[in-house]
């Protein structure tokens, strides 16, 4: 069985690939566990001096696997508590590790996929990429660090706009808002991210780590907020709004709240 998250390390650069292309790299329990495993391996390996995170196939990550959530029925709360524990621990590891982390965003990043973009130190997107938070569109609540990191990246009002209206940002808008650092042709995303990672891998890793620690120390509280996110999305998935929102999305109809 293929791994849901692939790790390749070469010349100091770790490439982490979300590997559920047939499901738009939606986050399920297996992927959550494997993402944490890979994050810890990158964090512990002194030979990893830069990290690139990308998605297999056409899309970066559609966020949570809604069909898998719907299948859990009344046990979805416990399922999401466990899933977010794995994913949030992975995000913490990527955010705190000494090596610079670069998101190479291909296609769509939605929901928790936007959180994986936010956790990266830098982000490069393809010209055709799109970004959508999507949570309230299906009656759920933010997770994957979005309620903490997104306002700090794009500002409070813009974060609220994205979270409340579920509007989709184009790659150029994401660049203008500061969600990504660079927009390139779609076919060049991974190559550009790897080139930047190679530059970091040849640079002063401890100096980069010091920069990351100082930025982190100036704005503590990520882990506590992610713990609150996990509880909130688990509770919302059991609420009638969450049940109806997910069901309506999967049935391709307008939700009735």
Over residues 207-245, the pLDDT tens digits come to 999 999 999 988 889 999 999 999 999 999 999 999 999
Residue 52, classed as helix, strand or coil, is strand
Which of 28, 65, 121, 143 is an active site residue?
143
Q: Give the phi and the psi of residue 242 in degrees, each rounded to 5.
A: -65, -45
Is 186 tagged catalytic?
no
> How long a stretch of residues is the chain?
257
111 within 8 A of 66, measured Cβ to Cβ: no
Q: Which two tokens stand for residue 3?
A: 């791994």
The catalytic position among 28, 65, 86, 88 is: 88
What pLDDT, in 10s, does the model give residues 163-201? 999 999 999 999 999 999 999 999 999 999 999 999 999
Sheet of 5-10: strands edge to edge?
A: 5-10, 13-18, 50-55, 101-105, 122-126, 182-184
173-176: long-range contacts, CB 8 A cutoff, minimum separation 24: 174/125, 174/129, 174/131, 175/125
Q: What is the DSSP string of 149-200?
A: HHHHHH-HHHHHHHHHH-PPEEHHHHHHHTS-SEEE-GGGHHHHHHHHHHHH
> Is a pLDDT exceeding 90 seen at residue 94?
yes
User: What does the block give as tokens for 160?
Assistant: 């609220």
Backbone torsion region of residue 166, taken as left when φ is above 0, otherwise alpha when ψ lies between -120 and 50, otherwise beta? left
* Greatest Cα-to-Cα distance within the chain, rounded to the nearest angstrom: 54
Question: What's the pLDDT at 242?
Answer: 93
pLDDT value of position 220: 83
Rounded to the nearest integer, the mean pLDDT of the chain is 96
Residue 219, pLDDT score: 84
**Mean pLDDT throughout 81-105?**
97
pLDDT(130) > 90: yes
- What percentage of residues in the chain have a pLDDT greater than 70? 100
Percent of the chain at pLDDT > 90 equals: 97
d(CA 17, CA 202): 22
Residue 61 in contact with residue 55, Cβ under 8 Å? yes
In this prediction, residues 135-142 reach a mean pLDDT of 95
What average pLDDT does the segment 39-53 reach? 98
pTM of the model as a whole: 0.93
Stated as kind and residue range, the H or E segment containing 91 is helix 76-96
Residue 1 above 80 pLDDT?
no
Q: Could you tell me if 59 and 26 are in contact, meaning their C-beta atoms sit under 8 angstroms apart?
A: no
pLDDT (average), residues 42-68: 97
């Amino acid at each position: 069985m293929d791994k849901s998250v692939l790790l390749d390390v070469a010349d100091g650069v770790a490439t982490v690939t979300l590997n559920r292309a047939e499901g738009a790299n939606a986050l399920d329990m297996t992927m959550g566990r494997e993402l944490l495993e890979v994050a810890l391996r990158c964090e512990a390996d002194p030979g990893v001096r830069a990290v690139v995170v990308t998605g297999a196939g056409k899309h970066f990550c559609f966020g949570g696997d809604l069909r898998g959530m719907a299948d859990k029925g009344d046990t979805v709360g416990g399922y999401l508590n466990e899933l977010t524990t794995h994913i949030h621990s992975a995000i913490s590891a990527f955010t705190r590790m000494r090596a610079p982390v670069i998101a190479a965003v291909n296609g769509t990043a939605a929901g928790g996929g936007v959180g994986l973009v936010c956790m990266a130190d830098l982000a490069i997107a393809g010209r055709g990429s799109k970004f959508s938070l999507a949570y309230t569109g299906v009656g759920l609540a933010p997770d994957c660090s979005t309620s903490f990191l997104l306002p700090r990246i794009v500002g409070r009002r813009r974060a609220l706009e994205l979270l409340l209206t579920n509007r989709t940002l184009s790659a150029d808008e994401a660049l203008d808002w500061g969600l990504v650092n660079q927009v390139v042709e779609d076919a060049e995303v991974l190559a550009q991210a790897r080139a930047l990672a190679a530059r970091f891998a040849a640079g002063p890793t401890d100096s980069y780590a010091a920069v990351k620690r100082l930025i982190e120390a100036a704005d503590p509280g990520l882990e506590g907020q992610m713990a609150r996110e996990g509880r909130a999305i688990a509770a919302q998935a059991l609420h009638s709004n969450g049940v109806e929102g997910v069901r309506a999305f999967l049935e391709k109809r307008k939700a009735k709240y």
